[in-house]
Amino acid sequence: MTVSKIPLGEYQVTKDGKVIKYCLENITSQVKMDEALEHMINYFLPREPLSKYLDVCSDEPSKNSVKKLWAEALQDGHAIGAYLLNSNGTIGRLIGTNIIIVSNKNAPHDEILQLEGEQFQIIFKTFKSLMERVDVYDRYGVDEYLEGLGLSVHPEYHGCNLGYRILESREKLCKALGLNVAVTMFTAASSQHIARKLGYETLVEIDYDEVKIEGRYPYRGIWEKMKEKKFTLMALEFK
């Protein structure tokens, strides 16, 4: 699938006395897709609350299923990449990414149910149960919307406002793709805070202790271990 490159902004921050320049754009080349996939496996999976609590990294079938899901999503060319800018203005290495798909009212993601891995299926069924509590298409009167499948910033660049900038850039991406709504399941308090700052509204919110999947409560104890209390389905409509 050929997707045009969409510039999403250039920024400059100072961290520890060092000036850092970076740009945001959608990921369109296979080399950069592979780089983003490796980043998500190395940095997102070990830190994202649900994946960390259920230890997805140690469940090889689940890890492979997540990898397959992201790899297929990246092929659409909609994922956002944050790249260092070299002194000569050329693009350097990836320092953050947001895997993104366009969800369509007439094309549900039922094929994900066929992916393997016990922990992966627990997480997917958790998300599915939350999504079933609200009809996003009907609420906003749309047939398609942008959906996030994971946002990660390289640990070396925490504190550089990258997460905020990546989420913010979704507006430009949506407008370029002809979309009016962005939707994401936010699993960490930090990302929920950033989303609220950008104007995202909460559609559904539930405490982890209350999540029941096939007779089990898979996240009981997550507060004691990780200090994460709830996850939220949030959306932002672009006027």
| Assigned domain for 2 exists | no
| Assigned domain for 18 exists | yes
pTM: 0.94
State how many domains the chain has: 1
pLDDT at 113: 59
- Write out pLDDT tens, residues 150-194: 999 999 999 999 999 999 999 999 999 999 999 999 999 999 999
Q: Residues 34, 42: contact at Cβ < 8 Å?
A: no
- Write out pLDDT tens, residues 82-111: 999 998 989 999 999 999 999 999 887 666
| Selection from 157, 224, 211, 161 nearest residue 185 by Cα | 211
What is 17-56 written as a DSSP string? TEEEEEEEEE--SHHHHHHHHHHIIIIITTTSHHHHHTTG
| C-beta atoms surrounding 236 within 10 Å | 20
Q: How confident is the model at residue 1 (pLDDT cuts 50, 70, 90)?
A: very low
Its domain, for residue 155, covers 7-237
Q: What is the DSSP letter of 220?
A: T
pLDDT at 72: 94
Those residues whose C-beta lies under 8 Å from the C-beta of residue 5, and which sit 6 or more positions away, are 25, 26, 28
The CATH number that applies at residue 92 is 3.40.630.30
| Assigned domain for 42 exists | yes
| Assigned domain for 1 exists | no
